[in-house]
Amino acid sequence: MRPSRGRCSVCRATHVLLAVSCLVRRADGAEVIGTALVAKATGVGHRRLAARLGRPASTVRGWLRAFACNADRVGALFAGLLVELDPLAGPIAPRGSGVADAVEVIGVVAAAARRRLGVLGAVSPWQLVAAVTGGRLLFPSGPD
């Protein structure tokens, strides 16, 4: 996939325009990476995941490590979004690791968005993640 570029009318600079199904500097889509993160949250190792997804083990290990570094920030970002989408949402039970906790809150937010927005919220949980994080889910500085 080759992303489009757009020119900013204010600064006149060009910017890469990513689809909501993409993450910054990743060749694989958000759905594939999200599948790996969900599996990791359940305890599957990177080699088994790589074989299942047909990707190099080093690539999958890189996704998992990058997400592990950002898991606390992602979890906090999505917990705040959950309160905005569903102020009456109860507490989310801890899952035992930062990765599993972040994946859990992402799923809860995706369900809340679908309830609240209906058809407008009809994007996959990982497209929602890509949109909310500006494609920076696995970026070294974390999501905005």
Tell me if 140 is assigned to some domain.
no
* CA dihedral over 13, 16, 19, 25, signed as positive or negative: negative
What percent of the chain has a predicted confidence (pLDDT) above 70?
97
Tell me if 137 is assigned to some domain.
no
Tell me if 46 is assigned to some domain.
yes
CA distance 128 to 25: 18
Tell me if 143 is assigned to some domain.
no
**How far lies 30's CA from each of 9, 13, 38, 67, 144, in Å?**
29, 27, 12, 12, 17
Tell me if 144 is assigned to some domain.
no
**pLDDT tens figures, 99-141:** 999 999 999 999 999 888 876 667 889 999 999 998 999 998 7
**pLDDT tens figures, 56-75:** 999 999 999 999 999 999 99
CA distance 115 to 98: 26
Tell me if 50 is assigned to some domain.
yes
**pLDDT over 90 (residue 143):** no
User: How much is the pLDDT for 1?
Assistant: 67
User: How much is the pLDDT for 123?
Assistant: 82
User: How much is the pLDDT for 120?
Assistant: 62
Provide the domain limits for residue 31: 4-132
Tell me if 105 is assigned to some domain.
yes
* The overall pTM is greater than 0.95: no
| Ramachandran sector of residue 56 (left: φ over 0; alpha: ψ -120 to 50; beta: rest) | beta
Number of domains in the chain: 1
Tell me if 36 is assigned to some domain.
yes
**pLDDT tens figures, 11-53:** 999 988 888 888 988 989 999 999 999 999 999 999 999 999 9
